[in-house]
Chain A
Amino acid sequence: MHFVTGGAFHGKAKWVMDTYSASRKMEGWCNLYDAVCPEAEEFKFKTSLVVIEGMEQLVKKVVQENEKGTREVLKKNLQAWLKWESEVPGRQLVLIGTDIGKGIVPMEEENRRWRDVSGWFFQDAAMAAEKVHVVWYGMEQTIK
């Protein structure tokens, strides 16, 4: 699994498209800004490449739907995705998440939780990833 992060509007998705010769229109590209992520049990893509873009949007949804145990719900998703990748040799999973953790503390409680849980989920993703890149205005920095 390859985890790609960085600030908003930094060209993260474009970098993934260039690196993997992929497109947003391809089957297996999940754009969480426009759609919801398939549930863990429904995560059954036939393609060899799956890209999940907008991980922080999944975090937002999970935070809105759950008072407690958000990190565990997200971990369950992560495990399902990783299981999909490991089931067939040659499969590649790419996760793209916007880093929302470098601003001032948000006023609203829900936004604070969103920001906190995003940070933890991104740590879990980075821990599970084989490769981690931070994209800064289109240029990548390898951090793992």
Chain B
Amino acid sequence: MLIFITGGVRSGKSSFAEMVAVYHGNKGYRLHYVATCEQNGAEMAERINRHREDREKSGYAWKTWEQPRDIHDLSAAFAHEDVILLDCLTNLVSNELFAGWRENRNQWEEAAFREMVFQKIMDGITELKKQCEVLIIVSNEVFQGLLPDDSGTFYFMQMMGHLHQHIVRQSHWVYQVEFGMPILRKGYDADENQCTACTV
């Protein structure tokens, strides 16, 4: 099953996603947390710690994987009864798309490279989804204002939009979290059993 959760920054989407994971984990599945942000700087370290402590306090056994890119590499680590929470797609895309920016390799300017990154991420998601019982993907809303002038941000937005469209189409459940409150955008609101029966 694929569950997609989106929202603005600090909207409570990660906390909600953890709740959803625990809900499914309650059935006896194992919980995995795939963190995609690269640890650079104290601010990020503090956030990572806060989320990690929250997960420990939850009383459930989470296994944390730090995977800023190449998520398909993880697939062998999972089993069919596992619940995977991928947090978040935004960081993964940024890490993949802007790989090599420190060396001034502006690969994202090339359409072929962007196509490759898109395919790599979608393949990674498909791979993880095949391996586990429930895959939950968290992502960020980044489409709120004028289009950016610089090409890097433009292509980043374009890729996020295309990925969101593809993931929403494949998802059984889609939530948009606003100020801590989840809004169901797609799925069955009453009988979840209907949903576990449908395959993608």
Contact = CB atoms under 8 A, between A and B. Distances in A.
A9 B143 contact: yes
B185 A139 contact: yes
Q: How large is the interface on B (under 10, 10 to 19, 20 to 34, 35 or more residues)?
A: 10 to 19
B185 A136 contact: yes
A111 interface: yes
Contacts of B145: 100-104, 106, 115
A38 interface: no
A10 B186 contact: no
A101 B144 CA distance: 7
Given A9-B157, A9-B158, A115 B146 contact: yes
Interface residues of A, number: 20
Contact of B146 (A10, A14, A106, A136): A106
Given A104-B145, A106-B145, A111-B146, A9 B160 contact: yes
A137 B165 contact: yes
B121 to A, nearest CB: 15
B147 interface: yes
A8 B168 contact: no
Interface string B167-190: 111000010100000000110000
Contacts of A100: 145-147
B161 interface: yes
Interface in A95-134: 98, 100-104, 106, 111, 114-115
Main secondary structure of the interface of A (DSSP, over half): loop
A138 to B, nearest CB: 4
A7 interface: yes
A138 B165 contact: yes
A10 B165 contact: yes
A28 interface: no
A114 B168 CA distance: 31
A9 B185 contact: no
Which residue among B158, B161, B174, B176 has the maximum number of chain A CB atoms within 10 Å of its CB?
B161
Nearest to B167: A137
B91 to A, nearest CB: 18
Nearest to A11: B165
A8 B161 CA distance: 8
A10 B161 contact: yes
B51 interface: no
Given A9-B157, A9-B158, A103 B146 contact: yes
B185 A8 contact: no
17 contacts: A7-B144, A8-B157, A9-B143, A9-B161, A9-B165, A10-B161, A100-B146, A100-B147, A102-B144, A102-B145, A103-B144, A115-B146, A136-B185, A137-B174, A138-B168, A139-B168, A139-B186
Interface of A: 7-11, 14, 98, 100-104, 106, 111, 114-115, 136-139
Interface of B: 143-147, 157-158, 160-162, 164-165, 167-169, 174, 176, 185-186
Top 6 A-B pairs, shortest CB-CB distance: A103-B145, A9-B161, A7-B143, A102-B144, A137-B168, A137-B164
